[in-house]
Amino acid sequence: MAWWGRDDDDYSLSPKSRRTNTEADFQVSFREWNSSTLLFLGVVLGGALLIAVVCAPRLGASGGYALTHSMVGEKFFTHWSFFDGPDPTHGVVEFVTFEEADRRGMVSAAFDRVFIGTEATEVLSGTQGRKSVRIESNEWFEDGLFILDVDHAPIACGAWPAFWMYGEDSQHAWPRWGEYDILEAVHNQTFATTTLHTRNNCDQAEVNKDLDFKGNWVNGQWGQEAKNCFIQAKGEFENQGCGQKQPAGSWGRHLNQAGGGTWVAEWDPQNRDIRTWFFQRGEEPADLLSKKPRPETWGVPTSFFTLRSKFCSPEHFKRMRLVFDITFCGDYGTPTMKTNCPYAGNCDAYVRNNPHVFSEAFWSIRALDVYRRPQERHGVISAPLGAYYEVLGEQEGSGWIFFGLIFTVLGLTGCVTVFYILSQKAADDNKSLIDTQIDGARAKLEIQGTGD
């Protein structure tokens, strides 16, 4: 009789065959139990990876910019110190204290506007400078996103206004810690300029207009593009630095008649660059207006400087403070007077004898916001002592990042586990099939032998 015609519990099978099958069944059962358990764990851990992937946008956002300062308001000037020393740029100016500026109506702060202007009524003697304001932030920064919204910028022949940053203390003289002129202009220019001033070894030769930024390079002493930021660079004017022209309409009468605009300055050592954008009124990105700025979506900036170590190390810029000022003539205004205001004659004399033209030389600021990433550092300057202390940036989202990393590690572990289980199961199934075939053949031979 054929073997496959017998019942499964046929006792004609040898004790050895029955024992072998029993052990195999136990081993398979044990492996199946372990596989089921591991598969369950693998699915759970794989779900952890899915959670990490789904939450990735949240985790990424936690490392983005967070608003840390919204300065415009009635207490605006509490964030600043008034500089009342001699003008380092040799202007025909007398910088005044807050008390004098306030008494003369040269400054004011309301909940939605800040006004910073100059004296515009007095004819001055041959040695006097026109009264004006220079304020410096009480805090210094190591990086950040700085957003300035103005509805009026200073304009007048002889005027030299600027919004800028610089680093300096008693042990580190300018320009050791660098200077970043976010925007400046002279006289009646229709565009602003963005400039870096540094010590030696900060070259922007690899930066190209149109590809890296939308503006144009400022020319040096011999008509070439001034791409060397060193203040004593060969072929450039003294203290010129590397400058880039912002688009037409970014300054002057056109800007003011259009209701102003928004400037965004990004100092980002982490990504090794300094970028600036100018947005005309009504053209600001929606994320900027909603105070959730995402510079990576704004396209090519209007100004760009690299901080790659090969060309210009991030170490050139440290602990910089914000500055607003309006000076007159000086190192930049005097040599450019004839080109921009040929009818005005001597710059110094024009500033002293024509106070009425400076009625338009004022800032009207709608917003000045500062954004920082988690763990970025800034400091507070003690104006009377000239000392500072460090403040660690908010670590918003750090908990999410921690748990996200845990979920990711667990998830990857789960995926590896599932892969291992499936490969082992396939191997076990294949081995089981071969064992069954071998046992069947062996049993058949034993039955045939018994029959004989």
pLDDT in tens, 428-437: 666 666 666 6
Question: Which pLDDT belongs to residue 374?
Answer: 79
Question: Which pLDDT belongs to residue 154?
Answer: 98
Question: Which pLDDT belongs to residue 326?
Answer: 99
Band of pLDDT at residue 16, cut at 50, 70 and 90 = very low
Q: With 90 as the cut, is the pLDDT of residue 268 above it?
A: yes
Share of the chain above pLDDT 70, in %: 69
Band of pLDDT at residue 380, cut at 50, 70 and 90 = low
Quote the CA–CA distance of 13 and 263 in Å, as a whole number.
Answer: 91
Q: Assess whether 184 carries a catalytic annotation.
A: yes
pLDDT in tens, 320-372: 999 999 999 999 999 999 999 999 999 999 999 999 999 999 999 999 999 99
Cβ–Cβ < 8 Å for 329, 348: yes
Q: With 90 as the cut, is the pLDDT of residue 263 above it?
A: yes
pLDDT in tens, 285-330: 999 999 999 999 999 999 999 999 889 999 999 999 999 999 999 9
Q: What's the pTM value of the predicted model, to 2 decimals?
A: 0.73
pLDDT in tens, 157-213: 999 999 999 999 888 999 999 999 999 999 999 999 999 999 999 999 999 999 999
Question: Which pLDDT belongs to residue 146?
Answer: 99
The CB-side HSE value for 406 (13 A sphere, CA atoms) comes to 6
Instruction: Give me the catalytic one of 119, 136, 184, 360.
Output: 184
Instruction: Give me the catalytic one of 119, 139, 142, 179.
Output: 179
Cβ–Cβ < 8 Å for 183, 162: yes
Cβ–Cβ < 8 Å for 233, 175: no
Phi, psi dihedrals of residue 311, rounded to the nearest 5°: -115, -45
Q: Assess whether 179 carries a catalytic annotation.
A: yes
Alpha helices in 178-316 (DSSP H): 252-257, 286-289
Least confident segment among 35-39, 79-83, 169-173, 190-194? 35-39
pLDDT in tens, 134-162: 999 999 999 999 999 999 999 999 999 99
